[in-house]
Chains A and B, each alone.
Chain A
Amino acid sequence: MNRYPISIQAFGEQAILIEWPEKVEEAILDDILQFSNHLKKKCLEPDQWELLPAYNSLTLIGRHELPDFGKMKRDLKMWYSEATKTRMPARYLWKLPVCYDTEFGIDLLEVSETLGKSVWEVIDLHTRHPYTVYGIGFLPGFMYLGGLPPELEVPRKAQPRLKVPSGSVGLAGKQTGIYPQESPGGWNIIGNCPIPIFDAGKEDPCFIKVGDQVQFYGINHKEHELHTIQAQVGIYAMEKVKLDAKR
């Protein structure tokens, strides 16, 4: 049973873009991930395709130019109708420590002033609920997180910083997230996560996947130091909880 009308179009010579209704909804993301899993497991030749899910779309990128888009489109429609036969991939809720000290959260005081809330209220709101990972992109390991409480919406900084340290946790508009590497950026920095989200040297360079959830919790400066060292030597134990297949 498919619940959505999907559109399938060629995207240049090597890719196909499949789109769902343009909404930020977990049910849509679930449907996309189930289809993506079905394609990987049952339909597409391994190593020949990259599958990139984000919000309401799934992009298939071929290693080579597409020989026959028309046939591929027909196949994809058929595969979509069978997708529910494949189970959803396992998904996790990751608990990520964040130090909200103003030494790291260089914009925290300004944010609390802009929002008319105390620093504690800002931290409480930011850590209260899990966020859903709707996409990973922009930079290796950068997560697009959905579910920010509307009370935490602040405009991005008028003047972007040339250097935002790796692990910085930021707020901008409806978004919150972690800078996986040092990079320029215009988000309001409210804390720092000592656990690297992306490590090219690891077997699985990015442990968090699209469809997973993350929830932040506050730690003090000493714990931040400790977790930084634990992560560096590879003994930090990630806290994760398996999510139900159907949320």
Chain B
Amino acid sequence: MLNVKKAGFFTSIQDQGRFGFRDLGVPVSGAMDTYSASIANSLLENDENAAVMELTMTGPTLEFELPTFIALSGADISPKLNQQPIPINQVHQVAAGDVLSFGKLVQGFRAYLAVKKGFGTAVLMNSRSFYAPITPHHNIKDRMELPIASCERYEPKISSLSPEAFHKEHTLEVYRGPEFDLLDDRQLEALFAGDFTISKENNRMAYQLEQTIPGHRHTMLTSATLPGTMQFTPAGKLIILMKDGQTTGGYPRILQLSNTAICILSQKKFGDTIKLHLK
């Protein structure tokens, strides 16, 4: 078991998502930044769908009851093992009784903690990804106990990685969305000319952008939305749906982020800026 001493701001268990139930209104969920999650899993030679812990902004305090190996990737939240700083993107051995804690957020917004063989929380509708009401909780709470496997011996083929520093990137590659053609010159100009700021309304469901663009009066029938779909409200607000986002919506879908852009955006927080680039 892994004891959660303190849960941190928003910590959850995520795998690659809950594929196959969107026709019932169930979002796909899964790690927001799949790239970083897969780096952490790769270092431990875990199955690519092994469940990892997604940490947001501030990390939790975790006590290991078993010996295992861990790896962290994504945001740098100054991880410490028994109070000693440890680097991210590297395999670390932990002993029973060791405590993993975090400090200041140095870079990015979401970090991924992988443990050897993955977290063993319950599989519900083919996935371990937290999403209430499919799983009992939206996020990890203080004093929860999370199942992990014991592993005393592991010789990694690669003990550290230097992943692409694409989190510092601020340009998001986007495709035309289904209602892209609604946009007039003024709106296009506003969309692609300048920077946008991430608003306070940002979470696993959606990221709202601070700046608006000239609005519209278009109505449409409800249709599918995906992670990375940019919705355009009549008032000109721009909302980018993310992994826990609703499966259908009635606002025009003007843009669709590339999968890489979704990873980049997942590492942005309130006040950060982004720029859109049409592929």
Contact = CB atoms under 8 A, between A and B. Distances in A.
Contacts of B248: 52, 54, 135-138, 144
B228 interface: yes
Given A137-B224, A137-B246, 7 more contacts: A11-B178, A17-B223, A136-B23, A136-B24, A138-B248, A144-B248, A205-B26
Interface stretch (A55-63, A91-99, A153-161, A216-224): A55-63
A22 B221 contact: yes
B229 to A, nearest CB: 8
Contacts of B20: 47, 50
A79 interface: no
Contact of B247 (A17, A65, A137): A137
A141 B223 contact: no
A231 B20 CA distance: 26
Interface of B: 19-26, 124-125, 133-135, 175, 177-178, 220-224, 226, 228-229, 246-249, 253, 256-259
A135 B124 contact: no
Contact of A50 (B22, B125, B134, B228): B22
8 contacts: A17-B224, A50-B19, A54-B224, A54-B248, A57-B221, A137-B248, A138-B249, A200-B135
Given A13-B259, A65-B259, A138 B22 contact: no
A137 B222 contact: yes
Contact of A210 (B23, B135, B221): B23
A135 B246 CA distance: 13
A137 B133 CA distance: 14
A53 B25 contact: no
Contact of B222 (A47, A55, A65, A141): A55
Contacts of A63: 19
B226 A12 contact: yes
Contacts of B249: 137-138
A9 interface: yes
A209 B221 CA distance: 18
A51 B223 CA distance: 12
Nearest to B132: A181
Contacts of B25: 136-142, 180, 198, 206
A54 B26 CA distance: 14
A116 B23 CA distance: 38
B221 A55 contact: yes
A11 B133 CA distance: 28
Given A50-B19, A50-B20, A140 B26 contact: yes
Contact of B23 (A12, A47, A50, A56): A50
A19 B221 CA distance: 11
A14 interface: yes
A201 B26 CA distance: 13
Contacts of B24: 136, 140-141, 198, 205-206
A53 B259 CA distance: 23
Contacts of A171: none
A161 to B, nearest CB: 18
A209 B23 CA distance: 8
Interface in A167-216: 180-181, 198, 200-201, 205-206, 209-210
Nearest to B16: A63
Contacts of B257: 12
A109 interface: no
